[in-house]
Amino acid sequence: MAFLIRDFMPEDQSQVAGLIQGGMRQRWGRGFDPTANPDVDDLWATYIEPGGELLVGELEGDVVATATLIGWGSDDGRIVRMSVAQSRQGLGLGRELVGELIARATRRGMGVLHVSTDTPWIDAVAFYEACGFHRVGESDGDTHLELAL
């Protein structure tokens, strides 16, 4: 079972948006409000056009994972909108995506890669720490982590 990581294409919009919203629904349950995240409505305009790199992960022809690298500050990068389908979690797909984002950030000359996640979501915090990120602080209910490249 080969996991293919590729660049987002406009025709991926509905599948990737559904995957991202599914991850938020998994985290927030009944408290999830799909209208509170308008960036997901047009991923190309929100992330690709400004210079980001949105990755899609396919397994057996199905879109099962996604993650995005955006510029952050003058020389740094940030991981946003990372999601792995609930049925495919625990297979190492998220770690492979993060590895690809780190490689791309390094090629772009970024010095530090940042990520933030909801502090009570201890599995997500532990995931990023297992990928080599270090906690640098907490604010507004989020844990902020970074990785020097």
Residue 48: its pLDDT value, please? 95
Cβ–Cβ < 8 Å for 68, 78: no
Domains and CATH numbers, the chain: 3-148 (3.40.630.30)
> Distance between CA 37 and CA 33 in Å, rounded?
8
Residue range 31-87, pLDDT digits in tens: 778 788 899 999 999 999 999 999 999 998 899 999 999 998 789 999 999 999 999
Q: Quote the pTM value.
A: 0.92
